[in-house]
Amino acid sequence: MPLFTRRLAALVSAALLAAGLLAGPFTAPAANAVVGGDAAAPPPWLAAVGTPAFLIRPSGQFCGGTLVSADKVVTAAHCVDFLRSVPNLMSVTFGRADLTKKDGESVQVKSVWVQPNFKETEFKGETVEHHDVAVLTLNRPVLDRQPLPVIDRAGLYPPGAPAQVLGWGTTSELDLLNARLRQATIPLVSDARCAAAYGSSFDHRDMVCAGSPKADTCQFDSGGPLVVNGRLAGITSWAYGCAREGYPGVYTRLAPFTLPL
């Protein structure tokens, strides 16, 4: 999924430095769009996470997020860890299907919580994200939008079950231009099959796999939702490429985590 992790890190950091918004280099997010999906209207809880300084993407979007309460948005830790000290540089936008437009509602971020055990390792040159979950607190509640419920701690992830993914990301590994929201229904993948693909880089305690060569998430989809049975069950996190045979997408498994909501 994050094929261009280090390139994107350099681009975001350079953009913020050029704008005079950062004093030094940071590790920016590994962004991941939906391959094989269809154009979609944004559900009320879906957020585009970004910064105005990231000029190479419409609306400054670099990741996705999910509204889970009036002032809390769940996203991937790797999307926002580098901006923890300057959360006011970020905003989330709701109700915008096309990032080149100015519709919808944007709200500034007040603070960022990152799961304390978040860390990164490597698999075949890809960044592997562990405990990849963060919560953004908005500077005002969004009262006119219905949040998406989060899976409970006993939530199940049955292999083959349908899951919904959404994002504004790329439609293939080589597409960097898509800015329209897309969605797809993808199957959950067994832990055994995921471990066979990724070896020790896959940890079933905080990761779950989903997708196929027909449909997957990709660049700039990171942080977006994996929805199972009407609940936020996972977060788009990492993978080896996009929709590659034998390498399903890897998502943060949310059931084990207690989030500060």
Sequential pLDDT tens for the chain (261 residues)? 443 332 344 445 445 544 555 444 433 333 344 665 677 899 999 999 999 888 888 899 999 999 999 999 999 999 999 999 999 999 999 999 999 999 999 999 999 999 999 999 999 999 999 999 999 999 999 999 999 999 999 999 999 999 999 999 877 666 667 789 999 999 999 999 999 999 999 999 999 999 999 999 988 999 999 999 999 999 999 999 988 999 999 999 999 999 999
**Is residue 235 a contact partner of residue 254, using CB atoms and an 8 Å limit?**
yes
Q: Same domain, yes or no, for 123 and 177?
A: no
- Shortest CA distance to 222 belongs to which of 148, 144, 167? 167
Q: What angle do CA 196, 198, 199 make, to 5 degrees?
A: 70
Q: How many CA atoms lie within 13 A of 58 on its CB side?
A: 17
Instruction: Check residue 42 and give its pLDDT.
Output: 95
**Is residue 218 a contact partner of residue 242, using CB atoms and an 8 Å limit?**
yes
> Residue 21 has which token pair?
């918004």
187 located within any domain: yes
151 located within any domain: no
Instruction: Check residue 170 and give its pLDDT.
Output: 76
Cα–Cα separations (whole angstroms), residue 2 to 87, 142, 143, 163, 259: 23, 30, 33, 20, 25
Q: What angle do CA 68, 71, 76 make, to 5 degrees?
A: 55
152 located within any domain: no
Q: Same domain, yes or no, for 12 and 95?
A: yes
150 located within any domain: no
Cα–Cα separations (whole angstroms), residue 254 to 13, 159, 215, 231, 239: 29, 16, 21, 10, 17
Q: Same domain, yes or no, for 75 and 174?
A: no
214 located within any domain: yes
> Residue 182, class by beta-carbon neighbours within 10 Å (0-12 exposed, 13-18 middle, 19+ buried)?
buried
20 located within any domain: yes
Q: Domain containing 241: what range? A: 162-253
- Total domain count, the chain: 2
Active site positions, annotated: 78, 132, 222
- Any bridge partners for residue 123, and if so which? 126
Instruction: Check residue 39 and give its pLDDT.
Output: 78
Q: Same domain, yes or no, for 96 and 176?
A: no
Q: Same domain, yes or no, for 69 and 115?
A: yes
CA 256, CA 170: separation in Å to the nearest integer? 30
Q: Same domain, yes or no, for 191 and 83?
A: no
Q: Same domain, yes or no, for 21 and 71?
A: yes
Q: Same domain, yes or no, for 172 and 72?
A: no
CA 28, CA 213: separation in Å to the nearest integer? 27
**Is residue 216 a contact partner of residue 73, using CB atoms and an 8 Å limit?**
no
